[in-house]
Structure 1
Amino acid sequence: MRHVICFGNELHGDDGFGPAVHGRLGQMVLPPDWKAFNAGCRGLDALALFQCDEVIVVDAAAPAGQPGRLGQPELYEIDAESVLAGHDAGVGYLLQALAAMDGRLPALRILTAEMAAVTPFRPGLSAQMAGAVDGAVNMLCAWMQGRDRNDKEGEESSSRMQQEEQ
């Protein structure tokens, strides 16, 4: 089994990116070996979702001047001390706890979108983050089909997945 785990808090503006991606994936037919989860702002209890063969983590990244920019940080690039509003211990802390666990770890990819601003208790994505949702879903579809985002066949297969939902 493989999981897409989307983190974020819809009540905190652009931090709702993960739940927005999850909502879009929920409208699609995913490959049979994939499941999507809205982990919200869960803490260490989300470790149970990592008990599978492969995981793609989706989350908002801190503002850095290019809102909506998609990123694919490596595990070592995620700061465990970086805690955004509404994230409890932070996804970085969760991922470092995962790396410290004994046993077989799943293959891991991380997909982020850079927030325009941290806006506690202001629901709704900025225009840049709302636009990034489509790009993220296309990338996820390609990855779930076993193709990289730069692969033309991956783009075609993600289009087929989206057409199947209709």
Structure 2
Amino acid sequence: MIGLICLGNSLHADDGFGTAVHRRLATRPWPRHVCLHDGSEGGVLDILHQCRQAVLITALSSRLGAPGQVLLLTEAEIPADPQGPLGAGPASIVAAMRRLMQKPPKTEILGAVAALQVPFSAGLTPLVAAAVETASAMLWRQWGMSQAPAV
């Protein structure tokens, strides 16, 4: 199984990127071998145990690029430090996978560089909101869905 695991908190400005991508991706059915999961509901490690490949979809630190820039980090590019430039969410999940799973899934991180991550500030900034469509289209293409649904 391939897990598309969307992470984030929509009440913390651009940190809600993964949640917004999940809402967009959920607008159409996925092939049976692809599991779309809203990581804000928990159960991420349980899903990962069932996957041979996983994509963690999340907001990225401004240290990684320009606001709104969409980046795909390969497994080799994911830092081992859970407090590194990816932030606690995705990096701690990857660290837990590496520590707890005998054979963790091949993992990538797809994210948008955040412009603003502050508590209790609902809504994405315009640059990160635009990145939702870019990231969604990338995922639809990657898993054999030739066209994204109309907006």
Q: What TM bracket, shorter-length normalisation?
A: 0.7 to 0.9
SS at match of 2:119: coil
- 2:16 matches 1:29: no
Q: Does residue 48 of the first structure (1) align with residue 49 of the second (2)? A: no
For the 8 Å contact 2:61–2:85, the answer to whether it is kept is no
Q: For the residues of structure 2 that align with 1:158 and 1:112, how far apart are their CA atoms?
A: 21
**Secondary structure of 2:104's match?**
coil
- Who is 2:17 aligned against? 17
Residue 49 of structure 1 aligns to which amino acid in structure 2? I
Amino acid at match of 2:37: F
- Of 62, 80, 83, the match for 2:82: 80
Query: 2:80 aligned with 1:92, yes or no?
Result: no
C-alpha contact 1:63 1:118 (8 A) present in aligned 2: no
Specify every segment of 5 or more residues in structure 1 that has no aligned partner in the other structure, as ranges.
146-156
For structure 2, the 5+ residue unaligned runs are none
Letter aligned with residue 21 of structure 2: V
CA distance in 2, matches of 1:90, 1:110: 11
Q: Deviations over 1:66-114 (max 9, x none)?
A: 1110111234533411498xx8x53201101111234222121210100
Following the alignment from structure 2 to structure 1, what is the Cα–Cα distance between the partners of residues 36 and 89? 20
> Is 1:38 matched up with 2:38?
yes
Tell me, yes or no, if the aligned pair for 1:138 and 1:158 is still in contact at 8 Å: no
CA RMSD of aligned residues (A): 2.4
**TM-score (norm. length: structure 1):** 0.78
What is the correspondence of 1:12-161 to structure 2 with a 5 Å cutoff? 12-40=12-40, 42=42, 45-51=43-49, 52-64=51-63, 66-75=66-75, 76-78=77-79, 79-82=81-84, 89-145=88-144, 157-159=145-147
How far apart in 2 are the matches of 1:72 and 1:25? 17
Give the equivalent residue in structure 1 for 2:149: 162
What letter matches 1:137 in structure 2? S
User: In the superposition, relative to structure 1, how do residues 119 and 137 fare at CA in structure 2: closer, same or farther (>3 Å)?
Assistant: same
Stretch of structure 1 that moved more, 105-114 or 9-18? 105-114
Identity among equivalent pairs (%): 31
Measure, in 1, the Cα distance between the counterparts of 2:93 and 2:3: 16
Runs of 4+ in 1 over 6 A off after TM superposition: none
Which region of structure 1 is more displaced relative to structure 2, 91-100 or 120-129? 91-100
Q: Give the greater-gyration-radius structure (CA).
A: 1
Does the CA contact (< 8 Å) of 1:81 and 1:90 recur in 2?
no
TM-score, reference length from structure 2? 0.85
